[in-house]
Amino acid sequence: MKRIMVKDVYELHGTATIMVAEDVPLEDIIITFANNPGIRGAFLVDKEKRFAGIISRMAIMKWADFQLFGKWKRGVPASEVTQLVDTIKAKYLARGSWRSFGVKEWDTLEKAFNQMMMLGEDVIPVLDDDGKIIGDLRLSEVLMKAIEVGRSGENKP
C-alpha cells in the first residue's frame, strides 16, 4: 500500500485562502470574503510571518448572524457572544496556532485528513519547519486524490 503524503496533494488546485497580518481589522477580512466567494478561510500571520490562526467561513457566518439578527442562541456560551460582538481585530476571531494547527509537506495525507475532521475545517495550512505558510490543503484536493486512488486501485489490499 502506497503512503500518500501531503506534498503529493496540496497543490492540485492552487490556494483557497488569503494570508493577512493578525492585527488587520476584522472588517477588512469580511469585505474580502464578501467580494470573493471562493475563499475558504483566512490564515493570519504574526510579525515573524508564522501561522497565527485561521478564520473560517463558519466563524464569519456566526459573526454575520449576530450582526444581522443579534439573537442569543440557546447553547452558545456568553464568552462566544461577547467575542463576536467585541471583535475588532481579526486575531480575536481566529483559532489555532502554528504549533497546534496545520500540517507539514511530509506528513501523511491520512494524518492531515484526520486533523481536518477533528478540527471541523475543510481547509488547513501547510507549514514549513518554522511555522510559515507554504500552502493550504483543501477537502476538494483530498477528494480528488481519493477518486484517483479509487480508480487506480493502488491502495487495495
Q: What pLDDT is stored for residue 123 in this prediction?
A: 92
**How far is 3 from 13, CA to CA, in rounded Å?**
21
Q: Return the domain boundaries, the chain.
A: 6-152
| Matching CATH number, 6-152, of 3.40.50.1450, 3.10.580.10, 3.40.50.970, 3.40.630.10 | 3.10.580.10
Question: pLDDT (tens digit, 0 to 9) for every residue of the chain, 157 residues total?
Answer: 579 999 999 886 667 889 999 999 888 888 898 999 888 889 999 999 999 999 988 888 887 887 788 765 666 665 665 555 555 778 877 887 767 788 999 999 999 999 999 988 899 999 999 999 999 999 999 999 999 998 887 766 5
Q: What pLDDT is stored for residue 110 in this prediction?
A: 95
Q: What is the pTM of this model?
A: 0.80
Q: How far is CA 89 from CA 12, 77, 78, 86, 141, in A?
A: 32, 21, 19, 9, 31
Q: What pLDDT is stored for residue 14 in this prediction?
A: 65
Q: What pLDDT is stored for residue 93 in this prediction?
A: 78
**How far is 63 from 141, CA to CA, in rounded Å?**
28
Q: How far is CA 38 from CA 69, 94, 125, 137, in A?
A: 25, 19, 16, 14
Cell, residue 150: 479509487
Q: Cα dihedral sign for 103, 109, 110, 116?
A: positive
